[in-house]
Amino acid sequence: MRPSGRKTDQMRKISFERNFSKHAEGSCLVKFGDTHVLCTASLEDRTPPWLRNTGKGWVTAEYGMLPRATGERMKREASSGKQSGRTQEIQRLIGRSLRAVVDLEALGERQISLDCDVIQADGGTRTASITGAWIALHDCLKWMEARNIIKVDRVLKDHVAAISCGIFAAQPVIDLDYLEDSAAETDANFVMTGTGGIVEIQGTAEGKPFSQDEFLTLLGLAQTGIAELVELQKQAIAG
C-alpha cells in the first residue's frame, strides 16, 4: 500500500499551466501532485564560446529550489556561494535530456536557457522539470516561429518526458513522492522520447543491490508512464 493510496502504476495528478510568466519566451508551471516547478525558456542571441562560428546553437538548463520548497528550510545556494553537487547533477541531466530532441543546427547560433525552479517539492523534481521544460521549450520555439526565426518542426524533433520509478516496500511503483522516495530501496529515473526511445536511465540501489528483473519491471512502468506524460504534453500544447 502506497502512503498516498495510489496504485503501483498510478502517477500523481499531472498538470501544465502554460504562459505562467509574462516575460519569458516560453514558460510552464508543471505540477506532479504537490511537486510544483516553474520552467521558463529564455532565448539569447549568443552561444557558448566553443560553438562560435559553427552555425550550431545550444540548449542549456539551470535548476534551483526555493529555500522553503521543502519540509525543512534549506540554505539558499546564492548565499552559500555555490550550487551543490546535487543541483549541478540535475541541471546537467535536464540540459542533456532536452538537447536529445533538438536539432542544434536547425536552431542556429543562439542559445535557449531553461530555468527550472522548484516552488514546492514533494519528490520527483527532476522528472517534473524535464517534462515541464519541454513545454516551455516548445512554446519558446513557437514564439520564434511566429517571428520567422526558425521552424518548430525542424528544430524540435520529438517529445521528451521523464518519470521516476522505484522499489518501495518491496513493490515496484511509479512516480514516487517524498515519503516513498526517502524509504525506497531502489530509485530510478527514466527519460524517454515520444517515440519510445530511451534518452537517459539512472538507477541507484539505495539499500541492497537490485536484480536485472527488478530493473526491467521499473523500465516497463516507466515506458507506460512516459507514454501517458507525452499524451498530456500533446493535449497541453494543443490547448
> According to the binding rule CB under 8 A, does residue 204 interact with a copy of itself?
yes
| Residue 173 or 226 with smaller CB distance to a copy of itself | 226
> According to the binding rule CB under 8 A, does residue 105 interact with a copy of itself?
no
Among 7, 46, 52, 89, binds a copy of itself (CB under 8 A): 89
| Residue 108 or 203 with smaller CB distance to a copy of itself | 203
> According to the binding rule CB under 8 A, does residue 27 interact with a copy of itself?
yes
Query: Would you list the DSSP string of 124-160?
Result: -HHHHHHHHHHHHHHHHHHHHHHTTS--HHHHB-S-E
Task: Give yes or no for a contact between 51 and 117, defined as CB atoms under 8 angstroms apart.
Answer: no
> According to the binding rule CB under 8 A, does residue 38 interact with a copy of itself?
yes
> According to the binding rule CB under 8 A, does residue 143 interact with a copy of itself?
no
> According to the binding rule CB under 8 A, does residue 231 interact with a copy of itself?
no
Give 104's DSSP letter.
Answer: H
Paired with 31 in beta bridges are: 15, 36
| Residue 11 or 192 with smaller CB distance to a copy of itself | 192
How far does CA 184 lie from the centroid of its chain?
A: 21
For 9, list phi and psi in degrees, rounded to 5.
-105, 20
Among 57, 64, 132, 172, binds a copy of itself (CB under 8 A): 64
Buried b (16+ CB within 10 A) or exposed e, 220-233: ebbbebbebbbebb
Contacts 24+ apart (CB under 8 A), 201-205: 202/93
Binding residues for a copy of itself (CB under 8 A): 21-24, 27, 34, 38, 40, 42, 44, 62, 64, 66-71, 73, 76-79, 81-83, 85-89, 91-92, 96, 100, 113, 115, 117, 119-122, 188, 192-193, 195-205, 208-212, 215, 219, 223
